[in-house]
Structure 1
Amino acid sequence: MSNAAYAQIGINTAVPIASLDIVAKRNDGSTAEGVLPPRLSGDEIKAGDPQYTENHAGTVIYASAAVRLPSPKTVNITSAGLYYYDGKMWQRMLQGDPKKLNPQFAGDIKNSVQPSDHNGWYLLNGRSVSSLPTTAKTSATGLGFTTSLPDATDRILKTRNGAELLGTQGGNNNMTITRSNLPDINLVGVVSGTAESAGAHSHASDEGGFLLGGTNVGNNGSGHYQGNGESSSWGGVGLMSSTSASGAHIHSLSGIATIPTGGIGAPMDNRSAYLVVNTFIYLGE
């Protein structure tokens, strides 16, 4: 009992070199060798959620199937495999590239030039969740996508701000300039004509003349008509071709000057130079 309690323990060896040292019983292939951890389904692991605390960090279990309705602790159990408890939730062991120890978890996002779904990564193209394989469907539902995946087509990724819902789509690639968006400047136009004259000038008649009374213009100098038998006698009484010269004065002028900009109201593309890639979400294999 003393040795079992305090000494190093060896299986198939009398000289253990670690706290627990397991040596293969045979090496000729005649027996199945290795360590077999407890095997439970994802739902069975979830049922034990209350039993796992921070003190159980490092616990290893083999999940024989994905959890159907994940809890916060089991959301990463998306397929069969080895999982370890990190003190808060179950993590899959060596998921992804084992040479880089680069694990992936349900909900991870990446950009890639891969053309289609691969190795548990699914295109964010707005597809229906019901069209996904069972494992991916379970992961998508656990992430809150119950109807369809977000559509990342022609969109950039934006970091969440405040109470924004993850997976929400918004914004527009094009913008249209309105009058309020224009700079605060005056567009100068030219109106043809004279609105003010600063010197003495005359106004000529384009109708033949100005008819005047009480003058001796065109009436033989007497101020009265004196016929002379000419057919133009009446037309010459008080008739002048222009007014008298006047001093400086102002003529009122009103009107609207329209100055076209030459625009056609086309929307502007507000995107910078870009590289086209696909966007994927990891939902498990």
Structure 2
Amino acid sequence: MIIDFISIKKGILLTGIFSISTFAFAQIGINTATPHSTLDIEGSIEANRVAGIQAPRLTLAALTAKISSLYGANQIGALIYITNVSGGDRTGQRVNISSPGYYYFDGSFWQNLGIPEPKVLSGDIKYSVVETDHDGWYLMNGRTVASLPANLRPIAQKLGFTNNLPDTRDRFLKTKTGTEAVGVIGGTNTFTIAEANLPNLNLSGSFSGTSASGGASHTHTFSGTSASGGSAHNHTFSGTSASGGAAHTHTLSSIASGNGGAAHTHPFSGTSSNTGNHTHTYLAPPRATTKDRGPLVSKVSVDVPTNNQIDAAGAHTHTFSATSSNNAHTHTYSGNAASTSHTHAYDGTSTSTAHNHTFSTTSESSGAHNHTLSGNANFPLGGSGIALSNRSAYLVVNAYVYLGQ
């Protein structure tokens, strides 16, 4: 069947022709006698005539006003042209209509005939600066699944959100490992460096200074032997050893040997003191006695030694001073020397050949003093352990999951 729009002058005639063609099971050609498809339109070659086909033109607001159930399986392939997207909404079948252009219906959604937009599926995630739920996208803020629309709860549960949607606030999203479960939240925004996080390095250095005590008395214990180098040497001393006032005893037993056999002397000088009565026994000089010898000698004088004792009525002292000299000899002594508070005064020089002195004792300090030291040591790093921020520079957005309408 051939339709020549140029020869048609009346609309009634055109209507009649299309009415007849309804019952004709043949291909239709427009401006062609040999159509090659169900409808084959050949453009007009006249310069003053417009060629082309225009699909139904609608705004997004007009399409939104239509009942969504109008479009179903029987409308697959339907073609429209959206002229304006400022009104209406992008929900349900219209979710992909974002700009003016040709759209065709695929049975579920209107798809852009030019550059198709990716099809949105349940469980898809996106970031957005939008503040609230929109177009099937639901903010992941830890809300309960029970708070979602009833028809979307099974979808959320199928995605693995049994009780709550994930709370992505102040978090970033990461791909799960083989052992992690979807929706698990971990990590922290700050951390504190522990010793185990530091490199295994020794920070060495030198120091020199003075260590001061705090003032309390303390002692140093030492023990050892001081040896002379082999040659004779002298120890010069001068001082007084005082007892603390209480009576005490010195026990001694030893033999002091002389110096190699050479003659030597012991000088001494002092006073012996006695605090009570005592006696001195002495031998008195001879005295003369008279004895009758007969008529020739009337009297004879005879010297007779006599022992006498004199009692001292009280305490007194004896002062003595002497020097004893002799060749090599020894002094043996053994016993106890007891006294009340007293002192020993000495002044002199002792001479000897090479010998050792063994000592072990404690020296006590009565107050604060200093120790000067120098050497090497490891130094602590110091610091107060303030937690560090684990964030890089950031832009705040919201994370949404698509659950549908």
TM-score, normalization: structure 1?
0.49
Structure 1 or 2: more strand by fraction: 2
Flag the structure with larger Rg. 2
